[in-house]
Amino acid sequence: MVSAGDFRNGITIEWEGGVWQIIEFQHVKPGKGAAFVRTKLKNIVSGGVVETSFRPTERFENAIIDRKDMQYLYADGDMYTFMDMETYDQISLNADKIGDALKFVKENDTVKICSHKGNVFSVEPPLFVELEITETEPGFKGNTATGATKPAIVETGAQVLVPLFVNIGDRIKIDTRTGEYLSRA
């Protein structure tokens, strides 16, 4: 159990039949009246965000989120198959649970499967990946002072904006949270 007075960013709680993660919180002590905790909560299953206030003494059940490393095996239509690398058990998830989490993930890469009480609700890709450029316009020599970018397609089919000097066949490092080019690999 955690009280609203002990809230910290990133804590997950069970509230109103859902599992919520605290994105922001602020302890407020007005001149008149009782103190309260203003929070911004994100529903980890649906992704919806709400803002609400709680009394500091209100108590909530901690939500335990299990994150398990699994290997992405393959996609078959709208179903994506993953394997537990310790037990070799396989699970299949449909596209609405995956979203665009596998945008930068190749087959046989390791991802984290997030679940609450055995119910899988999301897939977390690695923070950074190295992928090969399969399609882009040719670069122009000497046109690098402007910091200009051009679109490029990587081996997973995702589009990334890259500097003008990057060419087909180059391996690049990408931040999967933002989809931004970081450097050549």
pTM value?
A: 0.72
Measure the CA–CA gap between 93 and 82, rounded to whole angstroms: 8
For residues 12 and 50, state if they share a domain. yes
For residues 133 and 119, state if they share a domain. no
Pick from 15, 47, 62: which residue ends a domain? 62
Q: Count of domains in the chain? A: 3
Measure the CA–CA gap between 171 and 80, rounded to whole angstroms: 26
pLDDT of residue 50: 92
Pick from 62, 97, 113: which residue ends a domain? 62
pLDDT of residue 124: 87
How does 152-185 read in b/e, with b if 16+ C-beta sit within 10 Å?
bebebebebebbbebeeebebebebeeeebeeee
Residue position matching structure tokens 């087959």: 107
Q: Which domain holds residue 119?
A: 66-124
Pick from 29, 47, 62: which residue ends a domain? 62
Ranges in the chain, pLDDT < 70: 139-146
